[in-house]
Amino acid sequence: MRLLAVGYFTFAMLTWPALSVAAERSVILSVERMICSACAYRVRKALESVPGVKQATVFLADKTAIVIYDEAQADASVLAAASRNAGFPAVVTK
């Protein structure tokens, strides 16, 4: 905090840390081996556990997942690896 004297008044000037605006990205994963809703739940939880993931939506019928994430904290290959580590190999489609 710095003090600024102007005439008879003294003002406290606060300096705020720079705000970083995270760039959000989305990716579509093609997820193999999903055959039931429990599989889709497990994939969603694995994706959501990756730091930087804002939202993960898994579609059992299409065998796909749409993930919105902060590109400063994660990337598509990390997301595919999280799905693979949960037992469901995934390939980035878009």
- The token duo for 73 is 């904290």
* Distance from C-alpha of 69 to C-alpha of 28, rounded to nearest angstrom: 11
pLDDT at 4: 47
N- to C-terminal Cα separation, the chain: 47
In the chain, domain spans: 20-92
CATH topology of domain 20-92: Alpha-Beta Plaits (3.30.70)
* Distance from C-alpha of 44 to C-alpha of 65, rounded to nearest angstrom: 8
pLDDT at 82: 98
Mean pLDDT of 75-93: 97
* Distance from C-alpha of 3 to C-alpha of 12, rounded to nearest angstrom: 5
Predicted model pTM:
0.77
Contact 32, 80 (CB under 8 A): no
